[in-house]
A and B are shown apart, each in its own frame.
Chain A
Amino acid sequence: MKRSYYLFSNGELKRRDNSLIIKNDKTSKYIPVEDVNQIYVFGEISFNSKLTNFLFQNNITVHFFNYYGYYSGSFYPRESLLSGDVHLKQAVSHLNFQKRLLIAKEFIDSASFNISRNLKYYNRKEVNLETQIKDIELLRNKLNKVNSIEELMGIEGNIRKIYYSTWNFFINQNINFHKREKHPPKNWINSLISFINSLIYTTTLTEIYHTHLDPTISFLHSPSERRFSLSLDISEIFKPIIGDRLIFSLLNKNMITHESFIEEFNHIILKDSSKKIILKEFDERLKQTIKHKKLNKKVSYRKLIRLECYKLEKHIIEEKKYEGFKIWW
């Protein structure tokens, strides 16, 4: 099975015969190329064109994180699976407003369903979240009637506000988390969310790469927002299921605490050792399997993301209406 590689040390990544090799003053380590699905670069790595060509050939995506641990961009090989048909129809689905809205709604509908599912899990005697769950349901009911992407985003924003406000109740650490802030996060929980969301985003991007979809043509987010905006769209569905659940477990098991961060130049950033803990857990989660009802076989969480891309593709070629993934267990 192909897997992700996470590079923390500084050095040089090179092609050596038919392998990848990571070299620095002290060590050199071989990475068998057949094993690699994607590479995460956290350290300072130099590259040459011989290497990039080799990565192209082997369909490997590479994601870069800057000094502060924030995602900065991806090396996305030229599409290996090209279909003019899908490409054109994807563009049409974006340009045709009704078509675009339909897909965008589906993303939010599934994402918010999965959010509400998370809250139901924590809604027990000692933590009562009934009101919040009800409020989210009321907002979700409005989704059917929206007439613009802005309205849709507005509802989504409100759902998230309620959702995040509940975290203080069921996380058994003093997280003092009030609202989501991005650039740069001023609270360590925000910093944690940003990091984990970027892992979901990059994994989704790699999965999109193995389909015929164009990652730059999106439906919910505007394509100008970020280069691979379709990845942002699809990530929405998996953030609550994979990302947030990972966060809850890391915090409730005290694997990540306030001590896992350091403050530097106004940034609250994860220590490398904490990143490694998170990546290990994240990797495990992607490998976990569930029995898929339609396919009648076990599939991993990572595969669920791929399947989501397939469903979207089938919608785009007008075979089968897209239904976003809703957690069923």
Chain B
Amino acid sequence: MHIYYFNICKRKLWLFSHNLNFEDENIDVKIGKVIEEESYSSQKKNYMIDNINIDYIKKNKTIHEIKKSNSFEEANIMQIKYYLYILKEYGLDDIKGILEYPKLYIRKEVHLDKNDDIIIEKQIDEIYKIINDKKIPNVIDNKICKKCAYYEYCYV
């Protein structure tokens, strides 16, 4: 989740990591949760490795990440890459990542590319910096804010 938020909004990452969430009331988040629970209820899901949540591992070779929409495609991809990266640290390097949008009938394969390790390590460093910073990052003033659960909190 941290990597995901990092790639969407650093302020969101800070709020989230300080337990400042209002997500329980946001309809998009609720829908997301329901999709996650309903779509693949027969599969084994939600493996916890090193505090990360992996939607499920099928025949132990593929990890799936299920998302509602592809509007944060970059962040979605980075999130899977991060899982692949962690699994690789555990010695599992022939795992495939699949990004799924059940609502859109899209699935996408995601691999760890050559430079990804470096990119991810750099992001992790930055994430720690942001989280440990006493000051909350500024509002990003982007059009995505309108749909964000923090909109009122950020802009009031």
Give me the interface of A with B, judged by CB distance under 8 Å: 59, 80-86, 210-212, 292, 294-295, 303, 306-307, 310-311, 313-314, 317-319
> What residues of B have a CB within 8 angstroms of the CB of A85 in the complex?
18-20
- B24 touching A59, Cβ below 8 Å: yes
| B133 CB → nearest A CB, Å | 12
Q: Does B105 contact A (CB under 8 A)?
A: no
Q: Which residue of B lies closest to A212 (CB)?
A: B20
Q: Name B137's closest neighbour in chain A (CB-CB).
A: A319
How long is the Cα–Cα vector from A59 to B23 in the complex, in angstroms?
13
B20: A residues at CB distance < 8 A: 81, 83, 85-86, 212
A303–B153 alpha-carbon span in the complex (Å): 11
Given A294-B155, A310-B153, A311-B156, also A81-B18 (CB < 8 A): no
Q: Which of B18, B134, B136, B156 is within 8 Å of A310, CB to CB?
A: B156
The answer to whether B24 touches A295, judged by C-beta atoms less than 8 angstroms apart, is no
| Residue ranges of B at the interface with A (Cβ–Cβ < 8 Å) | 18-22, 24-25, 134-136, 151-153, 155-156
Contact B152 A307, beta carbon cutoff 8 Å: yes
B152 touches A84 (CB 8 A): no
B21–A81 CB distance below 8 A: yes
Query: Which A residues lie within 8 Å of B156 (CB)?
Result: 292, 294-295, 307, 310-311, 314
Q: How far is the CB of B23 from chain A (nearest CB, A)?
A: 9
In the bound complex, do residue A310 and residue B25 qualify as a contact, i.e. CB atoms below 8 Å apart?
no
Query: Do the beta carbons of A80 and B24 come within 8 Å of each other?
Result: yes
Which residues of chain B come closer than 8 Å to A81, judged between CB atoms? Answer: 19-22, 24
With known contacts A83-B20, A85-B19, A210-B22, A295–B136 Cβ distance under 8 A: no
**Chain A residues with Cβ under 8 A from B155's Cβ?**
294-295
Cα distance A314–B20 when bound, in Å? Answer: 11
Q: Is the CB of B152 within 8 A of A295?
A: yes
Write the nearest CB–CB distance from B20 to chain A, whole angstroms. Answer: 5
A306 to B153, CA, bound (A): 10
7 additional A-B pairs beyond A83-B19, A314-B156, A317-B136, beta carbons within 8 Å, are A81-B21, A81-B24, A86-B20, A211-B22, A295-B156, A307-B152, A307-B156
Chain B residues within an 8 Å CB radius of A295:
151-152, 155-156
CA A9 – CA B134 in complex, angstroms?
Answer: 51
CB<8 Å pairs between A and B, sample of 10: A83-B18, A84-B19, A85-B18, A295-B152, A295-B155, A295-B156, A303-B152, A311-B156, A318-B134, A318-B135
